[in-house]
Amino acid sequence: MEKYDLVIIGAGPSGYAAAMRAIDFRKRVLLIERQRIGGTGVTNGALSSKTWWELSREVATLRGHVSRYNLTAPEVNYREIQSEVQKAVAERKGLLTNHMELLKQSTYSEYLNFKEGNARLLNEHEIEIENNGGKETVHAEYIILATGSRPRKLDHLPIDEKIVLTSDGIEQLDDFPESMVIVGAGVIGCEYATIFSGFGKTKVNLIDKGDRILPFEDEDVVDVIESNMEAKGVLIHRNSKLTKMEIVDGRVQYELEYTDGKTEIFNVEKALISIGRIPNYENLGLEEIGVEIDARGIKDDDTQTSVPNIYAVGDITADIALVNVGELEGRYAVERIFGQPKRKLVYENISTIMFLHPEVAGVGLNEIRAKEQGTDYKVASLRYDTIPRAIAQRDTQGFIKLLVTNDENMKILGMRVVGQHASSAIQAVALLISMDKGIEELAECVHPHPSIIEGIQECVRMLFGKSLFKPGAFGDHMRCATCHDGVYEDIEF
DSSP letter at 307?
Answer: S
Identify the CA nearest to 183 among candidates 212, 159, 207, 202: 207
Residue 19: the pLDDT is 97
Measure the CA–CA gap between 172 and 163, rounded to whole angstroms. Answer: 11
pLDDT > 90? residue 469: no
Tens of pLDDT, residues 204-243: 999 999 999 999 999 999 999 999 999 999 999 999 999 9
User: Please, is 288 exposed, middle or buried when counting C-beta atoms within 10 Å of its C-beta (0-12, 13-18, 19+)?
Assistant: exposed
Q: Please tell me which residue, 44 or 87, carries the higher pLDDT value.
A: 87
Tens of pLDDT, residues 262-295: 999 999 999 999 999 999 999 999 999 999 998 7
Residue 370: the pLDDT is 94
Q: Give Cβ neighbours of residue 435 (< 8 Å, ≥ 6 apart).
A: none
Where on the phi/psi map is residue 193: left (φ > 0), alpha (ψ -120 to 50), or beta?
Answer: alpha
pTM of the model: 0.92
Matching fold, domains 2-43+84-151+278-338 and 351-490: no
Tens of pLDDT, residues 73-86: 788 999 999 999 99
List beta partners, residue 258.
240
Residue 455: the pLDDT is 92
Residue 67: the pLDDT is 77
Residues 164-275, CATH architecture:
3-Layer(bba) Sandwich (3.50)
Residue 78: the pLDDT is 95
Q: Please tell me which residue, 93 or 65, carries the higher pLDDT value.
A: 93
Q: Long-range CB contacts (< 8 A, 24+ apart) of 431-437? A: 431/349, 433/348, 433/349, 433/363, 433/364, 434/346, 434/348, 434/349, 436/411, 437/411, 437/412
pLDDT > 80? residue 441: no
Superfamily of domain 351-490 in CATH is: FAD/NAD-linked reductase, C-terminal dimerisation domain (3.30.390.30)
Q: Tell me the domain boundaries of the chain.
A: 2-43+84-151+278-338, 164-275, 351-490
Pairing mode, strands 263-268 and 251-258: antiparallel
Identify the CA nearest to 442 among candidates 415, 482, 479: 415
Tens of pLDDT, residues 392-436: 988 999 999 999 999 989 999 999 999 998 988 888 888 888 888
Q: Can you count the helices (H) and strands (E) in the chain?
A: 12, 26
CATH of domain 2-43+84-151+278-338: 3.50.50.60
Where are any strands of DSSP class E within 61-210?
112-116, 118-121, 126-131, 134-145, 149-151, 164-165, 179-183, 203-207
pLDDT averaged over the chain?
A: 92
Residue 493: the pLDDT is 61
